[in-house]
Amino acid sequence: MKHIYGPVSSRRLGLSLGVDLVPFKTCNFDCIYCQLGRTTRKTEERREWVSIEEVIEELKATLSHEHKIDCLTFSGSGEPSLNSRLGEAIREIKRLTTIPVAVLTNGSLLRSAEMREKLMESDLVVPSLDAASQRVFEKVNRPLPPLKIEEVIEGLRAFKKAYRGKLWLEIMLVKGVNDSPDELQMLKETISRIAPHKVQLNTVVRPPSEPFALPITREEMDKVKVFLGSQCEVIARFSPRESSPLEHQQERAIWESIQRRPATIKDLADGLGLHPNETLKYIKKLIDANKIEAISFGVNRYYKPIKKKER
Ligand code: SF4
């Protein structure tokens, strides 16, 4: 499978099957916290980056043996709305199954009326909104210039007004970058303009693209939640969950591979036939267990074993 991955168990979406519509890593942002690493194809070109017919064929094959899927989620190796046939893919999936369809997006392309129309048939859209001021937007998301945060916010507001599904806004909080009282105040005002059904708060709990992108603490997160209001919930997973036997096996394969030589997420995913998003889940566990660490070399981020100090 090249375009379908998982299912992955997620607290907010249940058992979710990932649908990936762009090659690694195609995005019009280069977020400092991006768990996929730096954006190697930074573009706003909308085209059929991967064949929708191929995606649908893979999905049919997966659904013929996976019977407990709660959600089909467009997400993966970059920004899904950069695939010009996203709307057709959603429509085709809705013809195929009654499983709800979710789109995780950076939300920036919703400033176009055509894109808003394409997402209308989905059941859930989860756009990110990490900043309300232009200065912080550029710092945290590093968008392609001349993207203006005000246009993105206006697009989100217009989409929410017309959309019949659910809109959950996700805010990724990065310590010292977008967590100042002024920025949070502006975010609060922006949230009330957009009026999403939920606001989900996250922080940098997986290895980020830039080492200086640090998480806020659970206590800080709880304060932000209270400040932003009752529709907010914390989705950051501060402690790891138990792994299944298959997950243990895959984690072990990644650990063995890293012991042989330092590797990037892409090296590991390609070598082991896993999706980059799944690979990241195991990397995070190995980091939490203090077995591996990240090192930067050029634009790449490599993972290598932590050498134990000799006594
Ligand atoms: S976090 Fe999402 S929007 Fe940001 S660079 Fe990564 S893929 Fe793009």
* Residues of the domain holding 284: 245-305
Same domain, 264 and 169: no
Which of 204, 234, 264 delimits the end of a domain? Answer: 234
Nearest atom within ligand 1 for CA of residue 106 = 3
103: in domain = yes
311 in a structural domain: no
What CATH number did the domain enclosing 24 receive? 3.20.20.70
Report whether pLDDT(63) > 50: yes
Among the atoms of ligand 1, which is closest to the Cα of residue 128?
3
Token reading at 245: 């036997």
DSSP β-bridge partners for residue 300:
297
Pick from 94, 67, 77, 68: nearest CA to 14: 68
Q: Is 78 in the pocket of ligand 1 (CB under 6 A)?
A: yes
Over the stretch 80-100, which tens digit does the pLDDT of each residue have? Answer: 999 999 999 999 999 999 999
Q: In what order do the strands lie in the sheet with 166-173?
A: 4-10, 14-19, 71-74, 101-105, 124-127, 166-173, 198-203, 232-234
Domain end, chosen from 186, 213, 234, is at 234
Asked if the model's pLDDT at residue 305 lies above 80, the reply is yes
Residues 197 and 256 in one domain: no
Which residue's C-alpha comes closest to atom 1 of ligand 1?
34
In a domain, 239, yes or no: no
Instruction: Give pTM, 2 decimals.
Output: 0.85
Nearest atom of ligand 1 to the alpha carbon of 141: 4
Closest protein CA for atom 7 of ligand 1: 78
One domain for residues 131 and 265: no
25 and 139: one domain? yes
Residue 279 has which token pair? 């690979």
The pLDDT, as a whole number, for residue 310 is 47
* Structure confidence at residue 236 as a pLDDT band (50, 70, 90): confident
Going from the Cα of 143 to the center of ligand 1, the distance in angstroms, rounded, reads 10
Atom of ligand 1 nearest to the CA of 36: 6
Q: Is the pLDDT of residue 295 over 50?
A: yes
Q: What is the pLDDT of residue 134?
A: 98
- Which range is most confident: 12-16, 25-29, 66-70, 304-308? 25-29
- Can you give the CATH number for the domain in which 301 is found? 1.10.10.10
79 lines ligand 1 (CB under 6 A): yes
Tally the domains of the chain. Answer: 2
pLDDT of residue 113: 97
CB of 31 sitting under 6 A from ligand 1: yes
More confident residue, 66 or 112: 112
Distance CA 38, CA 227 (A): 32
Same domain, 194 and 285: no
Q: Which of 215, 234, 253 is the last residue of a domain?
A: 234
27 in any annotated domain: yes
